Structures are given as C-alpha cells and as structure tokens.
Chains A and B, each alone.
Chain A
Amino acid sequence: MQQEPESLMIKLQEQIDALQAKVSTLENSRKDQLSIAIVSGDLDKIMAAMIISLAAATMDTKVKLFFSFWALSALRSKNVRGKGKNFISRMFGVMLPRGKNRLKLSKMNMAGAGPLMIKHLMKKQGVLCIDQMFKDAGELGIEIVVCEMSMNLMGFKKEEMMDYPHLSYAGAVTFVCDANESSMQLFI
C-alpha cells in the first residue's frame, strides 16, 4: 500500500527528531571535560591528581574535582579551627592532617621524614610545590566540589576549608552528573 506523502513526511520528521535527540545526548556525554573523584588523602595521590588536572587545564579541558573522605584533609586551612564540634569530630580534627602541607605519603612516610624528602627533591628538580599547584588550579578555573556528606561525617566545618576561588559543596549526584558528561573520569 502506498502511503500518503504527507504522513510519510511526518514520519520522517519524527525519525529525524528522535535521531537529533540521540546525537545531542551522545555529544554531551563526550564533553572535553575531566572529572576526578579524589578520595585518598595521601600527599602522593593528591599531587598526582593535581598534576593531571593542571595538564588537562592547560589544554583548555574543563576540570571538575570531587573531594571526598580522606582527601578533605588536603583542603583544610592550617590555622582555622571549626567551632561547635562534638567529641568524635574533635578527635577526627586532631588526628587528621591539617591542610595540604601536612599530608602523609602512602608509602615511605617514615614518621614525616618521607614527605620532607619528597618536598626537598621536588624543589630541587623544579616540580611545582603543592601550594603553587592549587594556586595555578584556581587561576586555570579548575573546580573543586566538596562532598558535603563526608565533610559532615568527619566533622569538618565549612569555615575550616581553604580559600579557593572555585569551591562549592555538593553531593554524590553532582559527581555522577559531571562524570556522565565528561570524556574522562578518574578515581584516585
């Protein structure tokens, strides 16, 4: 049976619309964007995450870092003490490194001698120091998202978090949405 040309056109238009919707979903899922879920709070792993992020940002790749759990120690400021904490939160606060300059190494920490040696070597060989990495990251527009749930779990307060120009607070869904549209996703 021959179809009416008009109904055929409508059918074609519907198919084109459906395809267009599919293509735009595909395109948005391959954005030039890097999402990293950073969970580790070791100096070496935070550095790895920052170096990869900086390399991506120099190539104008959008970078979104999701800091969670132990990694939150890296974002604490050295001097600010959170107020209104209960006993367990205070214990966490005391036990965990206060900021990116007090992080431990995952291997060869040697009661703090390891990080000192690594920092000495980095300086000698012209590797950016961790403070400079965060400063450059801020200038390049790298976004840091703090996992609010783990921040509360560890008893950290917002006022304890370092000054960073693109810092926001969100939940796991934000990471999943960001990661979904990124062409690169890493977990450190």
Chain B
Amino acid sequence: MTTEELNKLHIAKLVDARGTACPGPLLEAKKAIGSIKPGDIMEILSADEGTKVDVPKWCTKQGHEYLGTIDENGYFKIYMKKK
C-alpha cells in the first residue's frame, strides 16, 4: 500500500510502543490484538528498527495481513489487518 492509502485507513486500535525496545513492541501488539475484531486494522508505533522487519514476519506466521510501514521522523508507523 502507498503512504496515502495507509494514511486514509480506518484504525481500530493504535498501539504506541515507542517507549520500548525489542521485543516490547511485539508484546504490546500481541496484547492489543485480542481487543479488536477480525478485519480490523491496527497501527503500531515503534522507534525500534527491528520491529519494522519483525511485524511482517509475525503477521505471516499468525495469518494477519501486513499492510505497510510509514517512516516518520525517528519512528515507524506499521499497519496490519487482523485475520
């Protein structure tokens, strides 16, 4: 997805994990994913470079859909859809 498309998405849940390093963001994402419905979109904020690579792999393993990442100044916005 392009940056414009990602910015237009309806976000069901925002997880701000900028305060934690690996594997903190994924732990927070895992805790949060239980609170949304299948098909809902979750946005994860992370300042950790590794998370950008880890989230797509997590999605593939769990069957969620990884939508894309926006590189902000000093952190990343990562988008995914729950299966």
Decide: A54 and B61 in contact? CB cutoff 8 A: no
Q: In the docked arrangement, what's the CA distance between A124 and B14, Å? A: 23
Chain A proximity mask over B48-70: 1 for CB below 8 Å, otherwise 0: 10000010001001100000000
Q: B30 within 8 Å of A by Cβ?
A: yes
Of A59, A60, A126, A140, the residue contacting B24 (CB under 8 A) is A126
Of A60, A126, A128, the residue contacting B62 (CB under 8 A) is A60
B contact residues, total (Cβ < 8 Å): 17
Decide: B23 and A55 in contact? CB cutoff 8 A: yes
A58 and B19 in contact (CB under 8 A), knowing A127-B24, A128-B24? Answer: no
Q: B26 within 8 Å of A by Cβ?
A: yes
B82 to chain A, nearest CB (A): 14
Decide: B26 and A126 in contact? CB cutoff 8 A: no
Q: In the docked arrangement, what's the CA distance between A125 and B61, Å? A: 28
Which B residue sits closest to A55, measured CB to CB?
A: B23
Of B20, B47, B61, the residue contacting A128 (CB under 8 A) is B20
Q: In the docked arrangement, what's the CA distance between A58 and B62, Å? A: 10
Give A15-29 interface residues, CB cut-off 8 Å to B. none
Q: B21 within 8 Å of A by Cβ?
A: yes
Question: Chain A contact residues (Cβ within 8 angstroms of B): what range?
Answer: 10 to 19
Q: In the docked arrangement, what's the CA distance between A51 and B21, Å? A: 11
Decide: B26 and A58 in contact? CB cutoff 8 A: yes
Give A128-157 interface residues, CB cut-off 8 Å to B. 128, 136, 140
Measured between beta carbons, the chain B residues less than 8 angstroms from A58 are: 23, 26-27, 29-30, 58
Decide: B20 and A126 in contact? CB cutoff 8 A: yes
Measured between beta carbons, the chain A residues less than 8 angstroms from B20 are: 126-128
Measured between beta carbons, the chain B residues less than 8 angstroms from A54 are: 23, 27
Q: Which 10 A-B pairs have the closest CB atoms?
A: A127-B21, A126-B20, A58-B30, A55-B23, A58-B26, A126-B21, A59-B61, A54-B23, A126-B19, A125-B21
Given contact pairs A51-B23, A55-B22, enumerate 5 new A-B contacts (beta carbons under 8 Å).
A54-B27, A58-B30, A59-B58, A60-B61, A126-B24
Cross-chain pairs A/B with CB under 8 angstroms, 16 sampled: A54-B27, A55-B23, A55-B54, A58-B23, A58-B26, A58-B29, A58-B58, A59-B58, A59-B62, A60-B62, A126-B21, A127-B21, A127-B22, A136-B27, A140-B27, A140-B30
